[in-house]
Amino acid sequence: MRLHAAAGSRGDLLAFVPAAIVTTAAAMAGRERTHLASKMLLAPSLAAGVLATRGSRPPGRHATLVAALVGSTVGDWFMNASGRADDSTRRRVLMRRGAAAFAVQQTGLVRLLLADGVRPRRAPAAVVGGTLAGLAVLDAGGAGRPDPVLTAYGLLLGSMSALATSSGRRGLVWGGGLFLLSDATIIVGEHLAKTPRQRALVSGTIMATYAAALALLVHGLRDEPDHLPDVPEATPA
């Protein structure tokens, strides 16, 4: 019975994993329509799993997960649209909308991590902070001031990653780290990937790490932990 229940609770992965493989391969091959269609199945397939198991968690936790996945779906749509925009101003607007939607996603994940008693540990928080600082320096070569919407999203992403990697729960640790790696690869790739082969490798890395991170975080946070973690010493402000 337990094996059957466990298989049922992971049934969403039967749709998610093939979609993740297809969207990663399509991103590397430059098949934009296939990439978009398969990517737009990622968060909804996980949301279907959340809805199918809604009786196993409190209503507040359920609503937060669903809201986070809606934000993820909307963010995916706008980010894909920004990549197809010809005008730089239009592209920036779409990126801001995507970042705002992803901020909803990150806020939900942070809320669940905090509700589970997770607090940032010094070592993981230092790694995340150093990574964000390095990315900020790398991205500072562009003209103009930092975009406030994109900056706010980056801070939320960093907060989520610091908490997840401090949780002591393997799936969340990997999920938080991979999510940060995925977004870091976007920035690094924009500056360093010059050839078609390099850009294809960057695209594949971004999608593979994003898909893995999303699944690990959602499945790791769908249910409350059996035992709340000991509250570690918080990183000094």
pLDDT tens digits, 107-132? 999 999 999 999 999 999 999 999 99
- What is the rounded distance in angstroms from the CA atom of residue 9 to the CA atom of residue 13? 9
Position 3 pLDDT exceeds 50: no
In the chain, where the domains are located: 59-221
pTM, two decimals, is 0.88
Maximum Cα–Cα distance for the chain, whole Å?
Answer: 60
High-pLDDT (> 70) share of the chain, %: 89
Burial class of 216 by CB neighbour count within 10 A (0 to 12, 13 to 18, 19+): buried
pLDDT of residue 231: 45
Q: Tell me which amino acid residue 237 is.
A: A
Q: Are 9 and 53 within 8 A, CB to CB?
A: yes
Tell whether the model's pLDDT for residue 2 goes beyond 60: no
pLDDT of residue 232: 47
What tokens does 215 get? 């699944």
Average pLDDT for residues 177-190, to the nearest whole number? Answer: 94
Residue 147: DSSP 8-state:
P
* Assigned token pair, 199: 């850009």
Q: Is the pLDDT of residue 202 over 90?
A: yes
Residue 5, pLDDT above cutoff 80: no
Which of 2-6, 10-14, 24-28 is the least confident region? Answer: 2-6
